[in-house]
Amino acid sequence: MAEVQGSKPEADKPETLKPDEPTTPIQELWTTAKAHSHPEVWGVTLADPASHIPSQIVLQKYLNANDGDVVKAQDQLTKTLDWRAKLQPLELIKKSYSKTKFEGLGYVTKYASSDEKTAQNDPETREIFTWNIYGGVKSIDETFGNLDEFIGWRVALMELAVQELSLPTATKPITASWDPYKIFQVHDYKSISFLRQSPAVKAASTETIKVFATAYPELLKEKFFVNVPAIMGFMYGVMKLFVAPKTIKKFHPMSNGGNLAKEFTETKVPGLGEKLPAEYGGKGVDLKDQGKEPLIE
């Protein structure tokens, strides 16, 4: 069952850091960040979290991902900054990808319980989804054969989803227990029972899991693997090597993708399940009509 986003008790409301407060774990992370040559994470140009809520959100996520361990959070943040400096994910969004290799394989959708303007400012009134439609792969060798190209496309899809969170303009800080700035992910494995034999797919899966575990902490709300063939078990083995146990608990394999909409009947967004595409049990239009994907040549 997906998370239920409820209202937060008054006593646990997050508060903005005060500039005159003594050193905190967040400030220690800020010291690490400002010493790095690369200034950006997830579209946020990092600044003093005492007065910049978007930076507070980013840095708090690294603390949350490491259960408050500052040293581990600093290490992960540094690795993320190194990786973003090298790969330049924001530039990958502007790049066009091969129609033959990637068209129709990934989408981002946003569902709001109120008007668009309100949803833009209130993270609790919207839900962001990424969809990976691996059953649409036309050629395993072409789509997965060039590992760097595949990772570039996959990262571009994730960055499109992160953009929908509107982190650079966020006005609500988060805590260790309250964080609505997260994304649902759906991986559809319909008609790909042959993938187990492909070294290219295994390499792409392993690298994607490693990258996302390091560079996108605490952005996952729930992850649904739908139309999963039994032989896909090798992927779960890889995930356990690189993904934290508390994250693994958010993973939900489903043999029938048509039941996906039922998983969202109790979420905060009214009627969310009905808005999903009909193929997944909802009443919405197809993903190609309601979603956005990385630029295609």
Strand partners, 187: 132, 225
In a domain, 43, yes or no: yes
Cα distances (Å, whole numbers) of residue 222 to 96, 133, 176, 214, 253: 29, 17, 17, 17, 11
The answer to whether 187 touches 241, Cβ cutoff 8 Å, is no
Same-domain check for residues 31 and 68: yes
DSSP string, 215-233: HSTT-EEEEEEES--GGGH
- Flag whether 3 is in a domain: no
Residue that finishes a domain, picked among 38, 57, 87: 87
> What CATH number has the domain bearing residue 142?
3.40.525.10
On whether both 43 and 70 belong to a single domain, the answer is: yes
Domains held by the chain: number: 2
Domain assignment present for residue 262? The answer is yes
- Single-letter amino acid, residue 285: V
Same domain, 73 and 28: yes
Q: Which residue reads 């990958």 in tokens?
A: 92
Q: What percent of the chain has pLDDT over 70?
A: 82
Residue 110 lies in a domain: yes
**Average pLDDT, integer, range 125-136:** 93
pLDDT of residue 11: 40
In a domain, 92, yes or no: no
15, pLDDT greater than 80: no
Are 70 and 107 part of one and the same domain?
no
Q: Do 137 and 33 fall into the same domain?
A: no
- In this predicted model, what pLDDT tens digit does every residue of 184-229 receive, in sequence order? 999 998 877 555 568 888 899 899 999 999 999 999 999 999 998 7
Are both 128 and 243 inside the same structural domain? yes
Is the pLDDT at 71 greater than 50, yes or no?
Answer: yes
Task: Say yes or no to pLDDT of 7 above 50.
Answer: no
Tell me if 5 is assigned to some domain.
Answer: no
Instruction: Classify burial at 21, counting beta carbons within 10 Å of its beta carbon; exposed 0-12, middle 13-18, buried 19 or more.
Output: exposed
* Helix axes 53-65 and 25-34, enclosed angle (nearest 10): 110
Based on the fold, state whether residues 189 and 254 are members of the same structural domain.
Answer: yes
pLDDT band at 267 (very low <50, low <70, confident <90, very high): low
Evaluate whether 295 touches 152 at the Cβ level (below 8 Å).
no
Domain carrying residue 119: 97-290
Query: Do 207 and 101 belong together in one domain?
Result: yes
Query: Distance between the two ends of the chain, CA-based, in angstroms?
Result: 38
Find the mean pLDDT for residues 143-171.
97
- Nearby residues of 140 by Cβ (< 8 Å), 6 or more positions away: 194, 195, 198, 200, 201
